[in-house]
Amino acid sequence: MAAEIVNPRSDSDGTTDEELFDPAFALHRGGKMAVQATVPMRDRDDLSLAYTPGVAKVCSAIAEQPELVHDYTWKSQVVAVVTDGSAVLGLGDIGPEASLPVMEGKAILFKQFGGVDAVPIALDCRDVDEIVDTVARLAPSFGGINLEDISAPRCFEIERRLQERVDIPIFHDDQHGTAVVTLAALRNAAQLTGRPIGGLRAVISGAGAAGVAIAKILVEAGIGDVAVCDRKGIVSAERTDLTDVKRDLAGFTNKAGLTGTLEQALDGADVFIGVSGGTVPESAVATMAKDAMIFAMANPNPEIHPDVAHKYAAVVATGRSDFPNQINNVLAFPGIFAGALQVRASRITEGMKLAAAEALAAVVADELSADRVIPSPFDERVAPAVTAAVAAAARAEGVARR
């Protein structure tokens, strides 16, 4: 059996038994994407228009009016998917080469679910200054930058500094994509259980990129209170071991002033959001409020297994596709970028993210059930709704350029 082979046999062409029988290897062989021309190249006339001498006219026009680059190149239709391979899909620090299949996958999700072209870029560096400089120098070729699978806390500084240097959207999907989809699902779960979001107390397990972004968007959305927990317990102003990011987090969360462990935070909580891994004891889950909402999103093993969660919760969501209510970033980032590119936005604002969450929630607002508080990634209504909402919000916030 291939799964038990420690040193798989290699054929003369280098193909191993595992590669021969595993469909994942078969699908990935040769890569998952390619560049395709959008104009004909049938004869010398086509060549002279697409390249020299015709291309010189377009270049000269752009040199005189730089904004024309959006009209006469791919810039307004394409994003770069950038990683350093330091925090990949639960695999951790696997490096740039090993991360490339994931970046290719992200690129084809952009195309499939948002009609946005994307180029995977895996950087062989970890220094924040070098990453910022490199991506900033690449920025003229793209309409937006999607940062992907970069470890915290470096990801926060990279995103902030890049957005200060370039006038195209910089979006760290591990943070903001997760946050947008989580808020959309929570809005519908609150509606389903008859509670306003302003009356909810949430507990987030995980103070990394996703946890911080979720806390921020929940506060922006008006949640009653939210406490964030890391490995050492509740992030509170009383702690002396906090990083700058966590110190900032303590400043706008945990209005109740809770201290102690995750288990103590869960006592009476309405919402659990897991973005950390590990296992939450059932005894702690049992102390949550009646009709709780449990979003246990670690993959492949949720912090609270749905079989346990359903004993105590009215709504259960995970990050897995084999359970109902999958919190999947693909519901957010394609439409967010499509909307931003459509209006040539200079950045993606908090208002644009809130608009995306509201639009996403609205897709299934009339179809709510305990197993349906968020749309399927294959629901064709999702991308158009998110795109339109983000474009409108960009115009309202003054970051749109058309």
Catalytic residue among 75, 106, 216, 353: 106
How does strand 201-205 pair with strand 170-172?
unpaired
CA angle, corner 337, sides to 336 and 339, nearest 5?
70
Distance between CA atoms of residues 205 and 296, nearest Å: 9
Mean pLDDT of the chain: 94
The pLDDT assigned to 6 comes to 39
76 within a domain of the structure (yes/no): no
**What residue ranges of the chain have pLDDT lower than 50?**
1-10
pTM of the entire predicted model = 0.92
Domain range for residue 354? Answer: 175-402
148 within a domain of the structure (yes/no): no
Distance between CA atoms of residues 203 and 269, nearest Å: 7
Contact 245, 251 (CB under 8 A): no
Catalytic, 72? Answer no
265 within a domain of the structure (yes/no): yes
361 within a domain of the structure (yes/no): yes
Per the listing, tokens 């191993």 go with: 16
Residues 6+ apart with CB under 8 A from 48: 54
pLDDT tens-digit map of 78-116: 999 999 999 998 789 999 999 999 999 999 999 999 999
137 within a domain of the structure (yes/no): no
The pLDDT assigned to 277 comes to 85
The pLDDT assigned to 298 comes to 93
37 within a domain of the structure (yes/no): no
CATH of the domain at 248: 3.40.50.720
The pLDDT assigned to 13 comes to 56
Total domain count for the chain? 2
394 within a domain of the structure (yes/no): yes
Phi-psi region of 254 (alpha: psi -120 to 50; beta: other; left: phi over 0): left
The pLDDT assigned to 9 comes to 44
Contact 343, 394 (CB under 8 A): yes
299 within a domain of the structure (yes/no): yes
Catalytic, 51? Answer yes
Exposed e or buried b for every residue in 304-340, given b needs 16+ CB within 10 A?
bbbebbeebbbbbbbbbeebbbbbbbbbbbbbbbbbb
